[in-house]
Structure 1
Amino acid sequence: MIETTEKIIYKAFRLTISSEYDLPELLKETSNYIDTDVVIKKGDLTAQWAELAEPNQTFVIKANLIMFHMPNVAIFSITNGRNIVVSPLDQASDDHIRLYLLGTCMGAILMQRKILPLHGSAIAIDGKAYAIVGDSGAGKSTTASALLKLGYELISDDVIPVTLTPDNVPMVTPAYPQQKLWQESLDEFGMDSGNLRPIVDRETKFAIPVLSQFTTESLPLAGIFELVKTEGEELDIQPIKNLERFHTLFYHTYRNFFLKPSGLMEWHFATCAAMVNKLELFQIQRPTSRFTANEISALVLSKIKKEIRI
């Protein structure tokens, strides 16, 4: 991993982040003389991992401690919602380490800070935030990109931070101005990948800077759209009702398997209970036989503009 000559202060997820490593995806703070919320540094975690982990174990999770070991990449430690320590392995690439820092590590930081991390993309539409969630490959980022092409703004891609106001209004906090898209999506949108950086060496998923269409304002979360792949030929959208709404929020919580061993199940349920009736939730079944992101974006906008009443 390329280390910076000095710590650099970044801003993401409404947190100030001091990092010994270059994180070009994030916005830099103009001053280095400010209090920081999160500290990222390099350290040797091999002895601690050997003490805590069983053979072939990937994660060690306790209250205020999440450690994980990614073969050929690094051992990572996240503690107290503040500290991230990286112990790089010899084969580690810069891109791989950064991928985990901005993904799993930041998801763990948010959870330890009792900020609900949803797995998906969040878009600003008419002064409100709308989340697009789904399994890997469901089309979250591609649908978000289709909405950006219509002039809307990105709030977050991959990890969506949600907090509650004193009145229990769920708010989405901006992450950082980048999307991740596969080559197939770029081709459908007519975008050239020649000047784009692959997320990881030799892969066909690319980092898409969206600084000109990134909002730095926290917005109320008004709706969630769950994308589900289907073998059918037509798009179908249905409201998610009753207890299924809780299931949807839990299922699409980023790294939800962190919750129980971290002692956060009660907090998670209370947070979801406070916000669930303030949202509209829909499931969109999309065919895998054709490119549907433009159709889905039109369907999402139709629901937002014609049916959602907050």
Structure 2
Amino acid sequence: MYAGFGLRIDSELPLPDLAPAPDRAAGPDVVVRLGVVPPSSSAGCALPRGFWVDGERIGVDVPDVGRYACERGTRITVEPVPGASPDALRLFLLGSALGVLLAQRGLLVLHGNAFIVDGACAVVLGRSGAGKSTLAAEMHRRGHVVLSDDVVPIDTAGRALPGWPRIKLWRDALDRIGLPTSGLDRVGPGFDKFHVPLERPALGPGPVPVRWIYVLDRHDGPLRVVPVAGAAVFTSLHEHSYRQEILVGDLRRTHLARSADLARAARLARVDRPRGVDSVVASADAILADIEREEQHASDGARTVGA
């Protein structure tokens, strides 16, 4: 039995990157089984990028890897392609499939990373290649606990859940932050991208309240942090949802409700970075300075009210 994303996971596929579940006597929240996954029926609906919905099943077909089906937020069935590597099967299980299952369980699942600052959580969002993981590695280097990378589930109380304790980084990103690739596992065959394991406290962390959300972007100008408000907040949260292709029907309605809850609890800002410039250190500086200003402003406001 494994622990990840706030769940106890009973998996037939070995998941060595996840921690053992602390309470083995309790039953699993999710079971993962190998087996035949029937394709979507004629009543189902094909979605982009290999996803499909068929009644209570949401599935994804991954070429040269396998077919995954998630049911009712409690079960994932995996049908491997003959010869598929265990690493590839695990990668898509802990990514796309588990992301779908978390959405089925009513969580808001974002495509980004989350790290802890002074007991609260900051979430960094951005398109693929925006530098989210490199920024997470920089925050980890500075001593901030990284809760999750790539898949960030947020519960109904507005708390980010700890995920797979690793960051995926391309070789050039590792070179920039001075980490050698020796001893690191590749994300997949032929990929010049590696799993970087994260150190975490022995007993945690648990869920952490989200207070700040930052969206990485590029522009023709200096680095700046720009607050985002109103409808643009919902647009950003939808755009940077994990596997937004599945947000149809009830899942779309749940996503909007969870987004509204998060918008009331957290502040969202855009981090505009100069185009063509390696700005990971400066971006980390800007985000942490913005958080410090917000905390100072909140502290000053509390003193004023109490005066």
Q: TM-score, normalised by structure 1?
A: 0.89
* 1:288 positional shift: 4.2
Greater shift after overlay, 139-148 or 27-36? 27-36
* 1:256 positional shift: 1.6
Relative to structure 1, the CA distance from residue 221 to residue 55 in structure 2 (aligned partners, 3 Å threshold; closer, same or farther) is: closer
Query: 1:239 maps to which residue?
Result: 227
* 1:139 positional shift: 0.7
Cα deviations across residues 242-270 of structure 1 (Å, max 9, x unaligned)?
Answer: 11011111111111221214x22222212
Cα deviations across residues 56-96 of structure 1 (Å, max 9, x unaligned)?
Answer: 98222145311121121101111010111111111412221
Query: 1:5 maps to which residue?
Result: none
Q: CA contact under 8 A between 2:123 and 2:210: conserved in structure 1?
A: yes
Of residues 273, 290, 298 in structure 1, which corresponds to 2:285?
Answer: 298
Query: 1:49 maps to which residue?
Result: 39
* 1:14 positional shift: 0.7
Q: Which runs of 5+ in 2 are unaligned?
A: 299-307
1:124 and 1:158 map into 2 onto residues whose CA distance is: 16
Query: 2:244 maps to which residue?
Result: 256
Query: What's the % identity of the aligned pairs?
Result: 30
1:183 and 1:138 map into 2 onto residues whose CA distance is: 15
- Answering whether residue 76 of structure 2 is matched by residue 84 of structure 1, we say yes
Of residues 161, 182, 189 in structure 1, which corresponds to 2:170?
Answer: 182
Query: 2:63 maps to which residue?
Result: 71
2:92 and 2:170 map into 1 onto residues whose CA distance is: 18
One-letter identity of the residue aligned with 1:218 = P
Query: 2:213 maps to which residue?
Result: 224
2:115 and 2:18 map into 1 onto residues whose CA distance is: 18
CA RMSD of aligned residues (A): 2.1
2:156 and 2:12 map into 1 onto residues whose CA distance is: 31
- Answering whether residue 159 of structure 2 is matched by residue 171 of structure 1, we say yes
One-letter identity of the residue aligned with 1:118 = L
Per the alignment, in what secondary structure is the counterpart of residue 195 of structure 1?
coil
Q: CA contact under 8 A between 1:178 and 1:210: conserved in structure 2?
A: yes
Which contiguous aligned blocks of 4+ residues in structure 1 show a shift greater than 3 angstroms?
30-33, 50-57, 212-215
Q: CA contact under 8 A between 2:225 and 2:290: conserved in structure 1?
A: no
1:213 and 1:227 map into 2 onto residues whose CA distance is: 28
Query: 1:192 maps to which residue?
Result: 180
Per the alignment, in what secondary structure is the counterpart of residue 21 of structure 1?
coil
- Answering whether residue 42 of structure 2 is matched by residue 17 of structure 1, we say no
Cα deviations across residues 151-175 of structure 1 (Å, max 9, x unaligned)?
Answer: 111111111111123xxxx111111
Q: TM-score, normalised by structure 2?
A: 0.90
Query: 2:301 maps to which residue?
Result: none
2:224 and 2:243 map into 1 onto residues whose CA distance is: 28
* 1:212 positional shift: 3.6
- Answering whether residue 19 of structure 2 is matched by residue 27 of structure 1, we say yes
1:181 and 1:127 map into 2 onto residues whose CA distance is: 26
Equivalenced residues, count: 294
